[in-house]
Amino acid sequence: MLEKYLVVGATGSIGSNLAEQLHASGKEIHLVGRNEDNTKNLAQKLNCNFTVADVLEDSFVEKIKTDIQDIKAIAYCVGSIDLKPLRMVSENDFNKCMKLNLYSAVDLIKGFQESLKKNKGSIVLFSTVAAQRGFTNHSIIASTKAAVEGLTVSLAAEFAPNIRVNCIAPSLTNSKIAEPMLKNKVLAEGIAKAHPLKRLGEGKDSASLAKFLITEDSSWVTGQIIAVDGGRSKLS
């Protein structure tokens, strides 16, 4: 039986690129996305199974498990960009961001923990450059993704040697969730120039690392937070 790789947030820029890279390398994948048409279209393109589910729904894990029970790995390619000055931030803003990025990741991991353990599996989570580098108006997403980084190292210690857990911290990436920022060309060019490599990220940049981390190519790597940020976190 082929080992199955669960890609959650599969229709986003990083998730779709990861799914395509895994498929191209002969891996069996199962896609999870909240948009039925987009998820179905990608699944048809890659000739794989899929589940339409929203991670903000309390029953999303059970919904996924009706379609797939045995997996080798999870890539939780879910993210958000919530930018507000602190005076405008509500408790609900934090709760929703934590539910999307942290609590639902925990629920998913718990739901498949025994399968991952049996299969000597791997988990890849996603943070952001803002978790370690201070940016104005990033209090919601930075604190939430910092929690994801804490979860990563904690679970890596708890699950070793049976399950590896790593995290990728991208900088701003060309994606649908970044469109409100990137539609302003002057702003987009300014952000790109703030990176030592003088461009924005592409989905394939983080996806290539995710593919490495989620497969046996990285069998001696766990508990790592790895930046894919054009040098933004260290060099500028």
| CA angle, 121 then 122 then 127, to 5° | 160
Q: Please give the residue range of the domain that contains residue 115.
A: 4-228
Q: Is residue 65 part of a domain?
A: yes
Q: Is residue 37 part of a domain?
A: yes
Q: Give the per-residue pLDDT at 31.
A: 98
118 pLDDT more than 90: yes
Q: Give the per-residue pLDDT at 232.
A: 95
List, for residues 159-208, the tens digit of each pLDDT value. Answer: 999 999 999 999 999 998 888 888 899 999 999 999 999 999 999 999 99
Read off the pLDDT of each residue in 74-80 and give the average, rounded to a whole number: 96
CA distance to 64, 77, 99, 182, 185, per residue, from 74 (Å): 12, 9, 18, 29, 35
Cα 178–chain centre separation: 15
When pLDDT is cut at 50, 70 and 90, the band that residue 236 belongs to is: confident
Q: Which tokens hold the place of 77? A: 């390619």
Read off the pLDDT of each residue in 81-87 and give the average, rounded to a whole number: 93
Q: Give the per-residue pLDDT at 127.
A: 97
The structure's pTM equals 0.96
**Sign of the Cα pseudo-torsion (199, 201, 205, 210, in order):** positive
Q: Is residue 99 part of a domain?
A: yes
Q: Is residue 234 part of a domain?
A: no
Of 98, 113, 201, whose CA–CA distance to 150 is shortest? 98
Domain count across the chain = 1
Percentage of the chain beyond pLDDT 70 is 100
When pLDDT is cut at 50, 70 and 90, the band that residue 61 belongs to is: very high
When pLDDT is cut at 50, 70 and 90, the band that residue 91 belongs to is: very high
1 pLDDT more than 70: no
List, for residues 6-50, the tens digit of each pLDDT value. Answer: 999 999 999 999 999 999 999 999 999 999 999 999 999 999 999
Distance, CA of 147 to CA of 184 (rounded, Å): 30
Q: Give the per-residue pLDDT at 176.
A: 87
Q: Give the per-residue pLDDT at 235.
A: 92
Q: Is residue 45 part of a domain?
A: yes
Q: Is residue 233 part of a domain?
A: no
Residues in Cβ contact with 160 at an 8 Å cutoff, skipping those fewer than 6 apart = 222, 223
Q: Give the per-residue pLDDT at 181.
A: 83
Percentage of the chain beyond pLDDT 90 is 93
Write down how long the chain is: 236
Strand pairing class (122-126; 28-33): unpaired
Q: Is residue 16 part of a domain?
A: yes
Helix count and strand count (H, E) for the chain: 10, 7
- 3-state SS, residue 11: coil
When pLDDT is cut at 50, 70 and 90, the band that residue 102 belongs to is: very high
Amino acid at position 187, single letter: L
Q: Give the per-residue pLDDT at 224.
A: 98
Residues in Cβ contact with 140 at an 8 Å cutoff, skipping those fewer than 6 apart = 82, 83, 84, 89, 93, 94, 97
Distance, CA of 156 to CA of 25 (rounded, Å): 26
Q: Give the per-residue pLDDT at 123.
A: 98
When pLDDT is cut at 50, 70 and 90, the band that residue 132 belongs to is: very high
- 3-state SS, residue 46: helix
Whichever domain contains 165, its CATH number is 3.40.50.720
Q: Is residue 235 part of a domain?
A: no
